[in-house]
Chains A and B, each alone.
Chain A
């Protein structure tokens, strides 16, 4: 009944305590924004951990091998039983075998203008453990070149040590990726020369990686011995700082590449930001709700006489309730929508910035954030409804 609401609007003055109302609304906006941001940061972090598209995901990969001691020299292979046991552990998400080359190989430059030659060994690893998405990452016997993924630290070593000592120019990743060189593979029946090219750089595994197909081919035709027991494996884990993991490795006399703690440090920071933002948001929300209910009480109290007369004239509790909900709720829903849209913009900008660095998070706020926004709307709606019902419950006796 729009006519009734127009009249009620004139009778029930909602202008009382406008400053308090503005403050409550501002507090509510900040609170909602903080809570939604906390949820979205958590969702983004989850994305980073589990999204396979991330070029340099901060999910944690550990290369594990036996700790070499005087006793096990030469017998550092991992048995099937050891690998299966590792696979069964809760903290291990997946396990990949690192296959080393069992053949002798060397690389050398294709042109004399930039001469280099070095003996070399390769490793290969299942596709899912590789963090470089390159269309060139494939090989068969007819391929023009063997794609190689090199560790970043190789290039750093070259640029900041080797080039100075040899008087050679420094090289960027892009330049290195353009250089085609020769790979010599030596077998019992002589040497085969292939072209090779670096197609990406990675921090994840500190060896020269080649496609598994090439490794199979090399090990089949050029291997010097037939002992193919893997000696290094790569595991994917949610948390390399997990004490269970480190004690397991210690117990089994295994060691992992150490410098993964920076990821867990990132995680601690993200957790802290999320927690501070979330807790602050919830405290602010509680205060804002308190101020807001006080504001409803004030509005009803300042129009107490008029509301009582309306009740005497026959207005029903539900009519009054509906009217007051209509007065208060659109503002609140507006605030939630505004906060959500603002968060959407922030997410978009963060997405843009991170994309440029090869880190992919979703363009828009995720489902959990939408759900949280709806949950906040329902909670505030419920609190508003309860307060209105409580405050308009005047005694019927009014003479």
Chain B
């Protein structure tokens, strides 16, 4: 399921973004199945806007976005929910957990929203791997930001997907925890033959990226 962007330009940022050079804005670009894409940009260059456009959360742009064979501004609510349940998973920069639910319930929600991809014991394995098993029954709102970030990572890995979109997913993790998260994400993407698009401020060597793009 390729992603194609054709002369994409978010309207609110258009003036500013088109002044500089970009590998993504206002050009034609295609991401093929299984690609590992790194998108780099300093603050304020529209990384989150880009992620939200890819995830069909905003439509205030010029140009065209295809996810699979469907143009994004021409998608029905049912198609969108199917896309989000089975094709595209996401880790938000602002995490977007339900603070009133426990860590486990936040993850479980994404596991049972569609036909489960993993058994529930896989939650424990992943939590163990990322070092958050003891806070699984704690309310997400009471967890530290670093813990919440790891909850959000595990949540995104619960469903089937062809693309995993990550918006600064390791911003609050130390190097050791980043390494653990990277190997988990790598393992889960390989299991699904899925690609990912990761946005961040700087360059890094966490993953064997197939392409590195400047926004």
Q: Which residues of A contact B (CB under 8 A)?
A: 1, 3-4, 7, 10-11, 306, 309, 311-319, 396-399
Contact = CB atoms under 8 A, between A and B. Distances in A.
B134 to A, nearest CB: 21
21 contacts: A7-B108, A7-B112, A10-B101, A11-B98, A311-B81, A312-B55, A312-B57, A314-B84, A314-B110, A314-B113, A314-B159, A315-B113, A316-B81, A316-B82, A317-B81, A396-B80, A397-B57, A397-B59, A397-B60, A399-B57, A399-B58
B96 to A, nearest CB: 6
Contacts of A309: 96, 98
A10 B114 CA distance: 18
A240 B52 CA distance: 78
B101 A317 contact: no
B15 interface: no
A396 B57 contact: yes
B188 interface: no
Given A313-B84, A316-B82, A10 B57 contact: no
Contacts of B84: 312-314
Given A10-B105, A396-B56, A399-B52, A315 B81 contact: yes
A297 to B, nearest CB: 19
A4 B115 CA distance: 11
Q: Tell me whether chain A's interface is mostly helix, strand or loop, or mixed.
A: helix
Nearest to B78: A316
Contacts, number: 65
Contacts of A316: 77-78, 81-82, 85
B109 interface: yes
Nearest to A314: B84
Contacts of A399: 52, 57-58
Contact of B113 (A4, A317, A396, A398): A4
Contacts of B56: 396
Contact of B109 (A4, A312, A396): A4
Given A11-B98, A312-B57, A399-B57, A317 B77 contact: yes
B88 to A, nearest CB: 9
A271 to B, nearest CB: 51
Contacts of A4: 109, 112-113
A7 B96 contact: no
Contacts of B59: 396-397
Interface in B100-119: 100-101, 105, 108-110, 112-114
Contacts of B78: 316-318
Interface string B149-166: 000000000010000000
Contact of A314 (B60, B81, B105): B81
Contacts of A11: 98, 100-101, 109
Interface in B48-85: 52, 55-60, 77-78, 80-85
A123 B98 CA distance: 89
Please give me the 5 A-B residue pairs with the lowest Cβ-Cβ distance, nearest first.
Answer: A314-B84, A316-B81, A3-B112, A314-B85, A4-B112
A230 B9 CA distance: 102
B57 A398 contact: yes
B109 A7 contact: yes
Contacts of B159: 314
Given A10-B100, A313-B84, A397-B60, 5 more contacts: A312-B57, A314-B159, A396-B56, A398-B57, A399-B58
Interface string B6-23: 000000000000000000
Contact of B77 (A10, A306, A396, A398): A396
Interface string B24-43: 00000000000000000000
B3 to A, nearest CB: 17
Contact of B110 (A311, A313, A317, A396): A313
B63 to A, nearest CB: 17
Contacts of A317: 77-78, 81
A320 to B, nearest CB: 9
Interface string B165-183: 0000000000000000000
B191 to A, nearest CB: 20
Contacts of A3: 108, 112
Nearest to A320: B81
Contacts of A1: 112
Nearest to A318: B78
A315 B85 CA distance: 7
A397 B52 CA distance: 9
A8 B17 CA distance: 40
Nearest to A398: B57
Nearest to A7: B109
